[in-house]
Homo-oligomer: A and B are copies of this chain.
Amino acid sequence: MDEDGLISTAKQAADHELVLGFGRLLGAAGRLEYILGRAIEVECGISHLMFEVLLILGRAANDGVSMKAIGQEQVLTTGGVTRLVDRMEEAGLVERTDDPADRRGRLVRLTPLGERKAVQAARVHLENIRRHFLEPLPESHRQQFMEDLRILSHTARDALPRLR
């Protein structure tokens, strides 16, 4: 019946300790992301996924970005992208056009309203990153922390599971 539970052996106890420690760290990463996402939602009235799309489109300037590419930048299935862009189009933030180079594809582009929203949300976001990610850390750690996050962003990109 295993009534001794999770820490019934020394080996398990050691694992348990480690996981609890790391569990909190993961929780930290998750909560920080959650806080930043919520802030965008509350202060700018768009979801955090919409915000990320605005950033992606802003980076591409006025070339337009395919649905596919948006799905790959984010962690979102193609169906998810379709619906997300649907809502953004309804909200007047983006517009879709046929891709002249591939008649299956569609290109997504910022509207002027979308651009303004991107700038506004970016400002809010930046401020929140400063407050929640940077200021709590000792001055001397900040640079290295950001550098490490940058490294991890690349491994994360490679490790991303393929979504349909």
Interfacial residues, chain A to chain B (CB-CB below 8 A): 1-3, 5-7, 12, 15-16, 18-20, 22-36, 38, 42, 52, 55, 58-59, 61-62, 75, 110, 112, 115-116, 118-119, 122-123, 125-126, 129, 132-133, 136-137, 141, 144-157, 159-161
Indicate whether A155 sits within 8 Å of B129 (C-beta atoms), given known contacts A6-B115, A16-B58, A144-B144: no
Contact residues of A: prevailing secondary structure: helix
Question: What is the distance, in angstroms, from A55's C-beta to the closest C-beta of chain B?
Answer: 5
Question: What is the distance, in angstroms, from A146's C-beta to the closest C-beta of chain B?
Answer: 7
Residue of B nearest to A51 (CB): B23
Q: Are B156 and A32 in contact, with the CB atoms below 8 A?
A: yes
Q: Which of B29, B122, B132 meets A15, CB within 8 Å?
A: B122
Q: Which residues of B contact A31 (CB under 8 A)?
A: 75, 153, 156-157, 160
Q: Are A2 and B36 in contact, with the CB atoms below 8 A?
A: no
Q: Which residues of B contact A155 (CB under 8 A)?
A: 132, 136
